Every structure is written in C-alpha cells, then in structure tokens.
Amino acid sequence: MHIPDGFLSPQTYLPLYAVAGVAWAVGMRRIRSALDERTIPLLAVVTALAFVLSMIAVPLPGGTTVHATGIGLLAILFGPWVAFMSLSLVFLMQALLFGDGGITALPLNALAMGLAGSFTGYGVYKLLHQWHAPTALFAGAATAVLLAALIVALVLGIQPLIASRADGTPLFFPFGLAITLPAVMLPHLAVAAAEGVLTVMLFRFLVRFREVRTA
C-alpha cells in the first residue's frame, strides 16, 4: 500500500498536505485535551508500537507473507486520533530517518491509512462489539485495511486524469481506475482477512496476559 515518491502529481499531494495539516492540528488538540502530560510519552511509544506491528509478518495461503498494518488494532486500543497521529509519525520517520516511503506520499498514506482507516476500524468495532466481540475485532481490522487500500487505489487511479500531456501520455502514475482498483483491492482482500485474524488472536493473548498477571 506504501507509495514511493514520484508517482503522485503536485496537484494531488499539495492539497492533500493542506488537508492532512488540518487533521494533524485537530488530532494534536484532541489528544492533548484528553491526555495532558501523558500525550508525548504515549504518542511516542504508540508510534514505536505501530512501527513494530508493521514488521510482523502475516502469512497468506500459498506460502507468501505480508506485513501487518496494525491500523485497526491501534484505533481500537488507543482511539482513532492517537492511531492517526502515531501512524503519521511512523510515515514521517520512515521518510526522513530511514529514507523509506515517500515525502510526497506521506499525506496520502497518513489520510488513507491513519485517518480513514483508523476511524473506520474504530467505528465498525464500536458498532459490532456489543453483539460479538471477536467478529467486531475482525471486521474493524479488516475494514480499516480495505478502506485505506480503496482510497490509495482511487488516488492512484485518477493520476492519468489530472496529470497528463495534451496527447494523453501520463506524467505520473500511468494506470487508470480500471486497473488500479482490481490490482490494489484484490490482493488486499487477503491482507484484510489476515489482519483480521491476527487482531483477534492478539486480543486473545492480551486478555490471557492480563488474566495471568491479575491471578
């Protein structure tokens, strides 16, 4: 889902930076008002947690593995604003400290995975958890991944429409929606299912840890 630099047009990433800037300001204010002194330490460790969660290899049928995103898990555990800010910091650190990911793709990754993914995952979980908690966890984690992938596919797919030469030759990402939607969404169906299973199992371990500790 991570897009490198050079595939998004400035007509895309500059307005996205403006939107993300507003979201970061709102997010910081929300977290500060809820946490006060604990804001910086909590954000820092949740950022590190988000980073390490993205290192966890999740196996798919057929022998391949993908990396977990942890979007739904972070949103359910710490709330969508903390998840959004932490994931944004992960993308910033990946871009500026490790040279991984892209500085032009940062606002798209932050808004798609961090904001839309976190709020969707959290919302779906809240909607379903009274009925059946494991289903709510699975659905929350899976929909977070699917919505983030859908937004990335849509933004990539409109690049030939908004940035191409007069003869129709693309200038940035070359494929339209007819290609990006199936190419991004079909593999992410399996990724979302794997992420859902991992999230349910992880919560079970967490509950067991706490039971053992309080026993």
Q: How many residues bind other proteins (CB under 8 A)?
A: 65
CA 118 – CA 126 distance, rounded (Å): 12
Sign, CA dihedral 111-113-117-119, equals negative
Q: Which residue, 130 or 169, is less far from other proteins as judged by CB? A: 169
Residue 19 touching other proteins (CB under 8 A): no
Chosen residue from 25, 40, 161, 186 binding other proteins by CB under 8 A = 40
Residue 131 touching other proteins (CB under 8 A): no
Residue 55 touching other proteins (CB under 8 A): yes
- Where does this chain touch other proteins (CB under 8 A) — which range of 122-130, 131-139, 140-148, 172-180? 172-180
Chosen residue from 102, 121, 140, 157 binding other proteins by CB under 8 A = 102
Residue 198 touching other proteins (CB under 8 A): yes
Chosen residue from 16, 23, 43, 115 binding other proteins by CB under 8 A = 43
Chosen residue from 19, 30, 66, 103 binding other proteins by CB under 8 A = 103
Residue 68 touching other proteins (CB under 8 A): yes
Q: Which residue, 81 or 203, is less far from other proteins as judged by CB? A: 203
12-33 core/surface letters (b: 16 or more CB in 10 A; e: else): bbeebbeebeebbeebeebbee
Residue 15 touching other proteins (CB under 8 A): no
Under the rule (CB under 8 A), what is the footprint of other proteins? 4-10, 13-14, 37-38, 40-49, 51-53, 55-59, 61, 65, 68, 70, 73, 77, 89, 92-93, 95-100, 102-104, 165, 169-175, 179, 197-198, 201-206, 209
